[in-house]
Structures are given as structure tokens and as C-alpha cells.
């Protein structure tokens, strides 16, 4: 028997009992690994172990592929009408909604997300399943005119068994971005949550049977990258793999695909997203959006045509005020007041502090933050660097933490060149009251998403993904369905003679 984890919480934000099974969810059952291993799950707000979960291995992936393949051929896939698949996705959405607070509490406990933010993310997951429930019976091919003696049409067919590897920074969000379109298109799926943040995925797994989804359609296999992720990447019967995470790991997954069965790979990878503030922008609004960007990995470009101008001095004031506001609201994810929680792990904490120390050593100016926050857990004060040069490490590499770097520019042409001088191309922000400039710059920047006078307002129906080394393929919207279907052309002779 697998173990059950239960924890009673009595906090300002959440009062209730959290309960999950800590095993592997395969074929609608909770199982132990073939080669048992326990993975400790840590609360980043305290640095203490919450519980341990079952850690899978390559043999568990073999078992999961077997049952997923059987389910695809017998109780899912093209055997099940799209309308039926859609209803089951709606059932799942309703169950997620019913369990919103518990799922949010698990995200807050395991990931350090403020509880209110976690609730918003769960609401996004519900939208995701509802949206693709609507698509499930609308994935159509086309009839194509050829000649009077021949008919041709296309079918958009599922791959069969697909897989997803989920990051630690948005466990349930990233799971929904992959599972919902995959199932809508008729695939069965095997999901590997991050070994750091598996708890909400395990709670999600407990809802699958209740939603009426047949055994083997959704399988959740906890485990490390080397033990489980690598087995997925190399498996000869997994036809498609979706991954969100680091560019380095994305490269390894592509290499594994090339060395195994040439499985289709979609990747959402790193980013160093430019946030460009022109001198005609609504500065107060721009800085507020930019302060959100500080928590979402943006780098800030500020137009200052005359060096230490009034705009520059005003911007320093606003950036300092924004960082101070974030610092005052950094803390316990269950406090009901926090806007910013801890970093995910001691490794990530040390990595971010290394970048902060690099910025100081290289001569960048710390406007605010730049140090640990408190003595418990993995908290870092939101940090703003000005006087940053494009050649500095903090300007070139993805920090993936609450560190904003501010660089100044004079002309539109200059900032486009600066912003594009990176191996990444995930997203960008543009702040200006000049609509022609806004559109012109959005088109010139090499990024998969451009936000104009806002930042990180992701929508379920709008595609998201990166250029260059920020990824391959798109998630969200109708575009995501292209990742989970393959096109078959059918030619019918209605009068051709030899």
C-alpha cells in the first residue's frame, strides 16, 4: 500500500486539512515504484521537510506506457467521440474548482507561492480545462479540391501516448497547459511533476477517476530527471514530449529524441525578457507593471536621452518605491498579505544570491534589496540594479529570481538592438503612448509574446512560447492543439482510370 499524507493547517489564509496519496498514479491506481525510493518534499518558507513521496524509475515508465497505450487503443483516442472527451474534461474542471482552496494551499506550502496568487493560478487551470473541453469535438480537417475525378481530405489524428515534464515554478498551471490539449486531441499522457513540487499534481491525480476518465489515460509518475525524465525522453513508444524548464535540459531532451524514436518535442525554456519604457510612457503605470516584471524575470530598459535627467531620477525613485513595496509584502505564503514568497530551494536561493553578488562585483548599483530576507527559509529581498551594462552577467543570463536589472538607452533603434542581443526570445514588454512606435517595436523584437502597456497578462486562448533558445512550439489557444495532432491526407478515387 502507498502512503497517505495529511496535514492540518490553521492560518490566516487557509484553515483545513490537506490530504494526498504519495504514490505513483498509474492506470487509475496508486502504486509503489518497482525500485522504491523516497523523495523528500521541502517547505521553502521554512527549509523543513513536509513529507516524502514515492520516487519512480524507468521500469515505472515502461509500465505507464503499457497502460497508456492500451487505454489509447481501447477506451480513449479515436474510440471516444470528441464530445465525450470534452465532457470528461469539464468534469475535471468542476472537480478542480471544488478543490480550489486545497490545491492552492498545497501550492503555497510546496512552492512558496502566496496563497492568493495560488488561488488565481488554480482559477487559470480551471479555465484551461473548460477551454479545451470546448475544442475536443471541433478538431477538424479539410476537404481539398483536386480534380473532378478525385476527392482529398485531411484528418487531425492524435499521436497516441504523449508525455509531459513539469517545472517547479508553476506545477498545476504547467500541468493543465499540457494535459488539457493533449486529452482534448485524443492522446493519453504520462506526467512527471518536478521532484521538488509534486504535491498539487498528486492531489490532481486523485480527481481523475472521479471525473470519469478511464484508467491509463492520465498517469502521474513522480521522480527525478535522471530516473524518470530521461526514461521518458528516450522511450521508443512515447510519440511526443512537452517540457517546460531550463534550456540546458531542453537540449538534452532534443538529443534524446534524435537518439531514440524522433519523438516530437515542444519546449518552453528560459527567458531574459526585455521590458522597454520609453520617455513618453505613463511612468507611474510603467514602473508598477515593471515591478511585477521584477518577480517575473524581466530586464528593464529605460529611455533617458539626457543622462541624469529628471526622468532618470524619478525612475530611480519609483523603482526603489516598488521594490520597497514588494519587500514589505514578502513573507509567509499563508499570511494573507504576502505578494512575494521564498525561492523554491536552497540551490535556487544560492544561485540567485550568486547573481546578486556578481552584479555588485561588476559595479552595478543596488537601488534596493540585494540581500537575504530573514533567517529562516529561502527568502530574498526583491532587488533592483541600475547602472547595468549590457556585458554584465546579470544582464546576459537568466536569473530566475526577484532581481530587476535596469539599463538606459537613447533611441528606438538602440534599444531594439540591445533587446535582441540575447540567445533568448520568450517575451517582451513595451511602454509608450505612441501606438505606431508600440507596434513597430513589438514587430521588431525577437520574442514570442509582446505586451504593450501591460506585462505578463497571459490568456488561455492566446498562444505562448519562445523564439530562439526560449523554445519550440506554442502552448495555449488553438495553436497548442497542433502540438498534439498529426495530419493525415486521404486521397479517394471517384473516377480516375488507368
Per the CB < 8 A criterion, the answer to whether 141 and 132 are in contact is no
Instruction: Name the phi and psi angles at 243, rounded to 5.
Output: -135, 135
Would you state the torsion angle of the CA atoms of residues 234, 236, 242, 247, taken in this order, to the nearest 10 degrees?
20
Query: Cell numbers of 267, please?
Result: 519546449
Instruction: Name the phi and psi angles at 55, rounded to 5.
Output: -105, 125
What is the C-alpha to C-alpha distance for residues 372 and 321, in angstroms, rounded to an integer? 19
Report helix, strand or coil for 251.
helix
Beta strand ranges found along 141-220 (DSSP E) = 143-147, 150-158, 161-165, 188-192, 218-220
Query: Cell numbers of 48, please?
Result: 523543513
Helix, strand, coil: what percent of the chain each, to 5? Answer: 40, 25, 35
Of the residues 268, 299, 398, 475, only one is catalytic, namely 268
Q: Calculate the alpha carbon distances from 18 to 14, 25, 26, 200 in Å.
A: 10, 18, 22, 10
What is the C-alpha to C-alpha distance for residues 412 and 279, in angstroms, rounded to an integer? 11
CA angle 476, 72, 59 (to 5 degrees): 95
Query: Cell numbers of 268, please?
Result: 518552453
Query: Cell numbers of 253, please?
Result: 531532451
102 is catalytic: no
What is the C-alpha to C-alpha distance for residues 454 and 289, in angstroms, rounded to an integer? 6
What is the C-alpha to C-alpha distance for residues 76 and 212, in angstroms, rounded to an integer? 12
Active-site amino acid positions = 268
Amino acid at each position: 500500500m502507498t502512503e497517505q499524507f495529511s496535514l492540518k493547517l490553521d492560518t490566516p489564509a487557509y484553515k483545513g486539512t490537506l490530504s494526498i496519496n504519495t504514490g505513483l498514479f498509474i492506470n487509475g491506481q496508486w502504486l509503489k515504484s518497482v525500485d522504491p525510493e523516497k523523495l523528500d518534499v521541502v517547505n521553502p518558507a521554512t527549509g523543513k521537510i513536509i513529507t516524502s513521496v514515492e520516487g519512480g524509475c524507468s521500469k515505472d515508465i515502461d509500465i505507464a506506457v503499457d497502460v497508456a497505450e492500451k487505454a489509447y487503443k481501447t477506451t480513449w483516442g479515436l474510440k471516444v467521440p470528441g464530445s465525450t472527451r470534452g465532457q470528461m474534461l469539464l468534469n475535471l474542471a468542476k472537480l478542480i474548482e471544488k478543490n480550489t482552496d486545497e490545491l492552492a494551499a498545497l501550492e503555497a506550502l510546496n512552492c512558496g507561492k502566496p496563497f492568493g496568487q495560488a488561488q488565481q493560478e488554480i482559477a487559470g487551470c480551471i479555465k484551461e480545462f473548460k477551454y479545451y473541453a470546448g475544442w475536443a469535438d471541433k478538431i477538424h480537417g479539410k476537404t481539398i479540391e483536386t480534380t473532378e475525378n478525385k476527392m482529398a481530405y485531411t484528418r487531425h489524428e492524435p499521436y497516441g501516448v504523449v508525455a509531459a515534464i513539469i517545472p517547479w515554478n508553476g506545477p498545476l498551471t504547467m500541468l493543465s497547459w499540457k494535459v488539457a490539449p493533449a486529452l482534448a486531441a485524443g492522446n493519453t499522457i504520462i506526467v512527471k511533476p518536478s521532484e521538488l513540487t509534486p504535491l498539487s499534481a498528486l492531489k490532481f491525480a486523485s480527481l481523475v477517476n472521479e471525473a470519469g476518465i478511464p484508467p491509463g489515460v492520465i498517469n502521474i509518475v513522480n521522480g527525478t530527471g535522471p530516473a524518470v525524465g530521461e526514461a521518458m525522453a528516450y522511450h521508443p513508444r512515447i510519440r511526443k514530449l512537452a517540457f517546460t524548464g531550463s534550456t540546458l535540459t531542453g537540449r538534452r531532451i532534443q538529443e534524446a529524441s534524435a537518439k531514440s524514436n524522433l519523438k516530437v518535442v515542444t519546449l518552453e525554456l528560459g527567458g531574459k525578457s526585455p521590458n522597454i519604457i520609453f520617455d513618453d510612457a505613463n511612468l507611474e503605470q510603467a514602473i508598477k507593471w515593471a515591478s511585477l516584471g521584477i518577480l517575473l524575470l524581466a530586464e528593464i530598459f529605460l529611455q533617458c536621452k539626457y543622462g541624469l535627467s529628471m526622468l532618470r531620477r524619478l525612475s530611480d525613485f519609483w523603482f526603489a518605491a516598488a521594490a520597497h513595496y514588494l519587500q514589505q509584502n514578502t513573507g509567509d505564503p499563508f499570511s494573507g498579505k504576502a505578494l512575494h514568497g521564498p525561492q523554491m530551494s536552497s540551490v535556487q536561493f544560492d544561485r540567485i544570491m550568486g547573481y546578486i553578488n556578481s552584479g555588485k562585483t561588476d559595479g552595478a548599483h543596488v537601488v534596493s534589496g540585494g540581500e537575504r530576507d530573514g533567517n529562516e527559509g529561502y527568502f530574498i529581498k526583491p532587488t533592483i540594479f541600475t547602472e547595468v551594462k549590457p556585458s554584465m552577467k546579470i544582464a546576459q543570463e537568466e536569473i530566475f529570481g526577484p532581481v530587476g536589472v535596469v539599463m538606459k538607452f537613447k533611441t528606438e533603434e538602440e534599444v531594439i538592438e540591445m533587446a535582441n542581443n540575447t540567445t533568448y526570445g520568450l517575451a517582451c514588454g513595451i511602454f509608450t503612448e505612441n501606438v505606431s512606435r508600440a507596434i513597430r517595436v513589438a514587430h521588431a523584437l525577437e520574442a514570442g509574446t509582446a505586451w504593450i502597456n501591460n506585462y505578463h497578462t497571459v490568456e488561455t486562448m492566446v498562444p505562448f512560447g519562445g523564439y530562439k533558445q526560449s523554445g519550440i512550439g506554442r502552448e495555449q489557444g488553438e495553436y497548442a492543439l497542433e502540438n498534439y495532432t498529426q495530419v493525415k491526407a486521404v486521397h479517394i478515387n471517384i473516377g480516375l482510370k488507368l
